[in-house]
Amino acid sequence: MLSSPITSHQRVGVFIDIQNMYYSGRALYNKKVNFKNILETATSGRPLVRAIAYGITTEEAHEGEFHSALAKQGFEVKTKPLQQFVGGHKKGDWDVGIAMDVLRLEPKIDVAVLVSGDGDFIPLVQFSQERGLRFEVMGFRSSTSSALIEVVDNFTDLSENPRRFLISDRRKSHPTAPIKRPGPRIV
């Protein structure tokens, strides 16, 4: 897509699909995603109108800490519980919620930055572009829909700079010291 150039006066809205990015970082690199650096890169010196991170809550204890950390970094965090169906199927996504927020904020922003690789957002991107909104996506190329990459005004491949966009998991256990065995017994 032919796009308008990035300028310093463009007002930016950032919309992060936490689950999509979390599981991509885990699956591809076995690391966590650095959402603070993603937000900094997404704005690129442009004024930030709003940054929203969308998450699913489960029964894991560390989720609250994680969501609090995101809030301290400047994100509005929206959560909803994981849906569990009678047959055991589980579902948790924010696609419609993200789309609604982009449309609600459209009059107040010039650029929407979606941080997700989900191709389900293509109709939202196209509709928003028809209405004059610049649409950018950030994601890991190997887990981002190629059709989504083709329709956006700009794609930032987080895989090109893993040191900036990924962090090691501090919760990993530390190796234990080697066990000392007595030397051979001399008689």
> What is the DSSP pairing of strand 83-84 with strand 90-91?
antiparallel
Residue 170 confidence class, pLDDT cut points 50, 70, 90: low
Rounded CA-CA distance 95/121 in Å is 7
- pTM for the predicted model, two decimal places: 0.85
Is the pLDDT assigned to residue 26 strictly greater than 80?
Answer: yes
Q: How far apart (Å, rounded) are the C-alpha atoms in residues 111 and 102?
A: 10
Token pair, residue 183, equals: 């030397």
* Domains defined along the chain, listed by start: 12-167 (3.40.50.1010)
Q: Is the pLDDT of residue 174 over 70?
A: no
The predicted pLDDT at position 169 comes to 73
CB neighbours of residue 22 within 10 Å = 16
How far is Cα 17 from Cα 118, in angstroms, rounded to an integer? 9
Sign, Cα dihedral of 117, 122, 128, 130: positive
For 1-12, write each residue's pLDDT tens digit: 556 678 899 999
pLDDT per residue as tens digits for the range 119-163 = 999 999 999 999 999 999 999 999 999 999 999 999 999 999 999
